[in-house]
Amino acid sequence: MTILGHLINGARVDDAARTHDIFNPSTGEVGGQVSLASQATVEDAIAAAQAAFPAWRDTPPAKRARTLYRFKALLEQHADEICRLIGQEHGKIVHDAKGELARGIENVEYACGVPELLKGEYSKNVGPNIDSWSEFQPLGVVAGITPFNFPAMVPLWMYPMAIATGNTFVLKPSERDPTSTLYIAELALEAGLPAGVLNVVNGDKEAVDTLLDDARVQAVSFVGSTPIAETIYSRASANGKRCQALGGAKNHAVVMPDADMDNVVTSLTGAAFGSSGERCMALSVAVAVGDTAADALIAKMQAQMKTLRVGPFHDAENDFGPVITRAHQEKVCGYIDSAEQQGAEIVVDGRGVQVPGFENGFYVGGTLIDRVTPEMTCYLEEIFGPVLLVVRAGSMEEAMRLIDDHEYGNGTCLYTRDGEAARYFSDRIRVGMVGINVPLPVPVSYHSFGGWKRSLFGDLAAYGPDAVRFYSRRKTVTQRWPSAGVREGAQFAFPS
């Protein structure tokens, strides 16, 4: 069985003292193993990044960008293989993997504009014959720690911009589906990145803790679940590092009585069940305003869900694939059990779904649960599976209070035909990314991605303009060149 190693200083490195099984969730079989890096291996990667930094820092941004142009071309050229690897280890259907990769490539395209993005600020004559400017310098060695659900896209949120701004990078992908991530990093080297500029260490907590504690690492970008995000943020901050840690979500869609219900139903079906609900922007709660809207929504969703197809990743006829592991399948079904025990109504039940020929795969069918109330476990916690909860509210204000009171604040969406209501909602709601009749309001690469409340720890969001700031440090220089022979007396007050 192959054991996936690491990419350090431009070469594959094996360190297979500890390993982790990589499953093919569509079949339930083990497809390979990944090596879990020891502290020493991670330190080697940090040392390689540290050694590569001085030359990379001084490489002109336009030259750095040219490497990224070549990287983008290679990603497009190898898209089929990348998507096959994503599907095999993650389970998402191939067309979904293509969408993920396309959103990742967008971030490479944005990073290609780095000479423009790094242009500083300049003021002439801030005092007599004195000029001042602010420039944005790289930080040094930066680490990224990424989740299983977007093995291509989320790393591409991070290192193209970190590298474009002159940093060197150590990436720690999810140990559950690391092969596409490593394959993509090798394409970045093929595009011409010097050895050590981008390193990949596979691993678990030991690797992450080493990255968090090593003084040579200047900043940490993390994406994953909220409990881990919070721990990472505190530990990195306590160690004096800059940190952004994006966490989990519970994204509500408010369905107003005037919404076009047919449109709502098709839109919600894709946003709730696409990628098996394993997206941090998945819509997992529909808040129907008024019983008439709620009853119509339930009836139409029930009809629509009869056409849902769950099955293996390679069959493009399927709407979504398995969840990531057997343990996660059991966890998702456990949430459905708890909803039933706590008095909700299971309208469509995805527990125990069988996919002929793939009986050992980690499948959960699309599930619809009505009459969910805010104190239920299934409402409070992130399920991360193909489960849509319906909560009934009396008014838009009540729906908004529910959303505001939830600990997560990643994304939300309002379905309505009323522009005034939409404007009020998007202005007041305490959530970072808002859709109006748009179910998955994932910002494009030239905006930035980030939730509010316990969906993001840190001040700056991921990718886009915030990433330029996250991966660089402002320096302001004030300069004058006195004429020869001119001498000034000492000044004891600020010049004004």
Catalytic center residues: 280
Nearer CB in complex with ligand NAD: 379/384: 384
Stretch that binds ligand NAD, among 240-248, 298-306, 353-361, 419-427 (CB under 6 A): 240-248
Helix/strand/coil for 241 = coil
Q: How far is the CB of 276 from ligand NAD (least distance, A)?
A: 12
Whether the CB-CB separation of 161 and 463 falls below 8 Å is answered with yes
DSSP, residue by residue, 386-437: SEEEEEEESSHHHHHHHHHHSSEESEEEEE-S-HHHHHHHHHH---SEEEES
CB neighbours (10 Å) of residue 251? Answer: 30
Among 4, 42, 223, 298, binds ligand NAD (CB under 6 A): 223
C-beta of 166 vs 450, nearer to ligand NAD: 450
Amino acid at 314: H
Task: Decide if residue 169 touches ligand NAD (CB under 6 A).
Answer: no
Minimum Å gap between C-beta 173 and ligand NAD is 6
Nearest distance from residue 309's CB to ligand NAD, in Å?
A: 24
Q: Is residue 224 a contact point for ligand NAD (CB under 6 A)?
A: yes
In the complex, what is the shortest distance from the CB of residue 442 to ligand NAD, in angstroms, rounded to a whole number? 9
Question: Which of 148, 470 has the CB closer to ligand NAD?
Answer: 148
Sheet of 121-127, strand order: 121-127, 130-138, 472-480
Are 90 and 99 a contacting pair, CB within 8 Å? no
Among 67, 167, 251, 410, binds ligand NAD (CB under 6 A): 410
In the complex, minimum distance from the CB of residue 185 to ligand NAD, in angstroms, rounded to a whole number: 15
CA dihedral 413, 468, 82, 311 (to 10 degrees): -20
Order of strands across the sheet that contains 242-246: 11-13, 6-8, 198-200, 168-172, 141-145, 217-223, 242-246, 456-457
Which residue is nearest to ligand NAD, using beta carbons?
A: 224
Residue 455's SS3 state is coil
User: Going along 120-250, which residue ranges are E strands?
Assistant: 121-127, 130-138, 141-145, 168-172, 198-200, 217-223, 242-246
Q: How far is CA 200 from the centre of its chain?
A: 18
User: Of 67 and 174, which has the nearer Cβ to ligand NAD?
Assistant: 174
- Closest approach of ligand NAD to the CB of residue 211, in Å: 9
Candidates 246-254, 358-366, 373-381, 466-474; binding stretch for ligand NAD (CB under 6 A): 246-254
C-alpha of 248 from chain center: 10
Alpha helices in 249-355 (DSSP H): 261-273, 291-305, 326-341
**Binding status of residue 91 toward ligand NAD by CB under 6 A:** no
String of contacts with ligand NAD for each residue 132-151, x by CB under 6 A: -------------xxxxxx-
The answer to whether residue 280 forms part of the interface with ligand NAD (CB under 6 A) is yes
| Touching ligand NAD, residues 341-400 (CB under 6 A) | 382, 384
Cβ nearer to ligand NAD, comparing 44 with 382: 382
Q: State yes or no: residue 272 binds ligand NAD (CB under 6 A).
A: no
Size of the residue set binding ligand NAD (CB under 6 A): 27
Interaction of residue 221 with ligand NAD, rule CB under 6 A: no
Q: Which element (helix H / strand E) includes 287?
A: strand 283-289
Q: Of 223 and 468, which has the nearer Cβ to ligand NAD? A: 223
User: In this structure, which amino acid lies at residue 428?
Assistant: R
Round to whole Å and give the CA distance between 455 and 434.
Answer: 14
H or E, element range at 378: helix 377-380
Residues forming contacts to ligand NAD in the complex (CB under 6 A) are: 145-150, 154, 172, 174-175, 204-205, 208, 223-225, 228, 246-249, 280, 382, 384, 410, 451, 455
